[in-house]
Amino acid sequence: MANTFLTPDMIATRALATLYETTVMAQLVHRDFEADFRGKQGDTITVRKPATFVATEFNRTTGVVPQNATEDGVNVTLNHFADVSFTVTTEQLQLEIQDFGEQLLDPAMEAITQKIDRDLIALSADITQEAGTTTGREWNKPEVLIDAGKILNQRKVPTTDRYAVVGPVTNADWLDSDILKKVNESGSTEALREAYIGRRLFGFDPYWTQNIEEHAGTPTTGQPTTEVGLAFHRSAFALVTRPLEVPPGAQDATIMSYKGFGLRVVYGYDIKYKQTMVSVDCLYGTKTLDAQRAVLIKGADAA
């Protein structure tokens, strides 16, 4: 009976599922993907932003006043080329996809997932609006989202699709806050839903990620270690992904996409060492679309 080997298609299917299920920031921002476009690193893509309109008072004498349904475009460079390549033996390629995934592929995709989220979080450098110590409520208490919401409301940002993403320290502090520990005293299950991280909280859907790093405070002020979180509307940031070309001459390669994510899987056999290199990569760009639609959650001395 002939041996059955895992194919690039089988690996790509499992890899895409892992990528889709483990990203945080990538699921919360504006997405742009075209499966039929084959991109390369450095390409510039024009991303269309949602059209905006103004509601006017109808005057029956003059009739309606048509507005141009024009969509603004913003250029995004495909400047990120995430790659994880690893060698496998013939025996490993004969594993069941479940075993192969758990031992090798899932950790590889976790690395790509973390890179995408870190690249999106890095866009916080474009944001100047702040909520935290400077606005009266502390960064490490969930009530800081009230201040963040106020800022976005003043900017007339839509109230739907608002998210807050914080780091592990902030997450622990929020979970230890009175509003979370004493929600049962309100007698309302709605309050419980509002307070639980991962549910609606002061107008935001809150999440946490290990990719938000700590920033040490200065000894002179006694500011403790803080993290710089983000409260934002989906349209504040964009993740643009495009499939890569199959390399010329590559016989064992595939390109696959799922819900806005595109991956390329390529095999290459090294006869000298009698092992196969599996390369998984993806091409994407990140961009701040509207800095007025995001707020930093930070302490006074956080970088």
pLDDT of residue 147: 93
Given a cut of 50, whether residue 195 has pLDDT beyond it is no
> pLDDT tens digit string along 213-224?
765 444 444 455
Q: Which residue has the higher pLDDT, 89 or 154?
A: 154
- pLDDT: which is higher, 108 or 54: 108
Query: Is residue 99's pLDDT more than 90?
Result: no
Q: For the domain 129-236+291-298, what is the CATH superfamily, name and number?
A: hypothetical protein PF0899 domain (3.30.2320.10)
- What's the rounded Cα separation, in Å, for the pair 267 and 252? 5
Is the model's pLDDT at 125 over the cut of 90? yes
Residue spans per domain, the chain: 8-52+69-122+237-278, 129-236+291-298
- Mean pLDDT computed over 256-284: 86
Range of weakest confidence among 67-81, 164-178, 217-231, 256-270: 217-231
Is pTM beyond 0.85 here? no
Whole-angstrom distance, CA of residue 60 vs CA of residue 205:
42
Q: Bridge-partner residues for 287, per DSSP?
A: 238
Helix axes 8-22, 106-121, angle to 10 degrees: 40
From CA 139, how far away is CA 150, in angstroms rounded? 15
Q: 194 pLDDT band (50/70/90 cuts)?
A: very low
Q: What is the reported pLDDT for 174?
A: 85
Nearest alpha-carbon partner for 288 in 85, 66, 101, 125: 125
**pLDDT in the model for residue 182:** 57
pLDDT reported for residue 225 = 56
